[in-house]
Structure 1
Amino acid sequence: MLEVSGLEAAYGESRILFGIDLSVGPGEVVTLLGRNGMGKTTTVKSIFGLLRPRGGQVRVEGQDLTGAEPHRMALAGLGLVPEGRQVFPTLNVEENLRATARPGKWTLNRIYELFPRLEERRRNMGTQLSGGEQQMLAIGRALMTNPRLMVLDEATEGLAPLIRADIWACLARLKAEGEAILVIDKNVDALTRFADRHVVIEKGRVVWTGTTAEILATPDVKDRFLHV
């Protein structure tokens, strides 16, 4: 589905990524892990064309889309739930969802069934939602593009425990339905309940990769690369 090889990126003269390799297969859930400032969001931006890579390749279902504009990545089947949610503040919930809609299995009714709270708040503006509701809306908006791969940058950052549980339940359901997912989050214990593989980056380089069974059997990975 998604293949990233040798990805390099920089902000001006400051290099951030030094040859990132990762892949997500059909129906697979892969995590991108690392401490703050290690290049996770830069990796996502480089994949989606929000930051033009300095080197490497981004391929979607075999097609080279390195540096392609964000709308081309969406048309190729990638849906993004960005860091900070970035819902449209001057649109209400339903307008936010309809703004990105493309034909497919994910319809307005299915989003409301997944997140009943959004239906209750469907006439509220984006700025009138709580942080948890905004994250539900950001996920729903990405699903309305009917992607083949969902990418979530900081899936539960700053959310209350009950809302986090709702988000994890949502992602587990998406996995059960065969959705491919690339997810960034700090809650490794929650991620290992449903993720297939994990990629850990440190200072813009991949320093460890393995299955859930392998990361659970290697506790020093969390101690060396993930704990603050």
Structure 2
Amino acid sequence: MLRVEGLEAAYGESRILFGVDLAVDAGEVVTLLGRNGMGKTTTVRSIFGMLRPRAGRVSVDGTDLTGAEPHRVALAGLGLVPEGRQIFPTLSVEENLRATARPGKWTLPRSATARPGKWTLPRIYGLFPRLEERRRNMGNQLSGGEQQMLAIGRALMTNPRLVVLDEATEGLAPLIRADIWACLERLKSEGEAILVIDKNVDALCRFADRHVVIEKGRVVWTGTTPEILATPEVKDRFLHV
């Protein structure tokens, strides 16, 4: 589904990515791991057209989306839960969710593909009952955990083929973090494709299929969950502060 090949990116003269490769197939959960400042968010920004790559290729089902405008990337079926949540603070919970609602049709430049939209308002409320309880509250009246639930719900309301979560549980209390992991496990069980960035490797290993480790803008290790669990030196060398 998603293919990132030889991705290079920079902010002005500061090069950040040096040939990043990664892939996510249908129904697969892949993690992008690394310490702070190693290029994970820059990779996401380059995939979604918020930063034009210097080189490399981003494609969905073989259609080149390198440097495409963010709305074209969304139309290709990618949904983003951004770092910092970035919900609409002066809209209610329900207005936030309705603002991105799409019936599940996505179009690629050379073709059109459609499927029934399974993510509706009732389904989001079933996934996150707390959002239904607070559906009339403004975004800026929510706790950090509730805002993250809302950001995930908002991305799902686009009925994406792939959900990308940048720092899925950063700054959240342990109980809320557990709720987010349970949500991602449920999405995995329902066949959703997910690319997730987070620091909680042990929690990710409960449901992720593969892992990509990035260091100073380069991929330094890739492997399956059994492989990363059997290779503690990967965590010691590239993930521990």
CA distance in 2, matches of 1:216, 1:180: 22
CA distance in 2, matches of 1:129, 1:105: 26
1:61 shift after superposition: 1.1
SS at match of 2:18: strand
1:62 shift after superposition: 1.0
CA distance in 2, matches of 1:139, 1:222: 27
1:187 shift after superposition: 0.1
Please name the residue that 2:185 is paired with: 172
Q: Confirm or deny that 1:160 pairs with 2:173.
A: yes
| Counterparts of residues 75-114 of structure 1 (less than 5 Å) | 75-103=75-103, 104-114=117-127
SS at match of 1:194: coil
What do the CA deviations read for 1:23-58 (whole angstroms, capped 9, x no partner)? 000000000000000000000000000111110000
Match of 1:190 among 203, 209, 213: 203
CA distance in 2, matches of 1:92, 1:142: 16
SS at match of 1:19: strand
| Counterparts of residues 125-164 of structure 1 (less than 5 Å) | 125-164=138-177
What do the CA deviations read for 1:148-194 (whole angstroms, capped 9, x no partner)? 00000000000000100000000000000000000000000000000
The AA in structure 1 aligned to 2:97 is: L
The AA in structure 2 aligned to 1:177 is: E
| Counterparts of residues 1-228 of structure 1 (less than 5 Å) | 1-103=1-103, 104-228=117-241
CA distance in 2, matches of 1:94, 1:57: 36
TM-score (norm 1): 1.00
What number of residue pairs does the alignment pair up? Answer: 228
Structure 1 unaligned segments of length 5 or more: list them: none
1:14 shift after superposition: 0.2
The AA in structure 1 aligned to 2:141 is: Q
CA-atom RMSD in angstroms: 0.3
CA distance in 2, matches of 1:209, 1:145: 30
CA distance in 2, matches of 1:17, 1:154: 18
1:90 shift after superposition: 1.2
The AA in structure 1 aligned to 2:24 is: V
The AA in structure 2 aligned to 1:160 is: A
CA distance in 1, matches of 2:80, 2:174: 23
**What is the percent sequence identity of the aligned residues?**
89
The AA in structure 2 aligned to 1:116 is: P
SS at match of 1:158: coil
TM-score (norm 2): 0.94
CA distance in 1, matches of 2:69, 2:141: 31
1:19 shift after superposition: 0.2
The AA in structure 1 aligned to 2:69 is: E
Structure 2 unaligned segments of length 5 or more: list them: 104-116
CA distance in 2, matches of 1:25, 1:122: 34
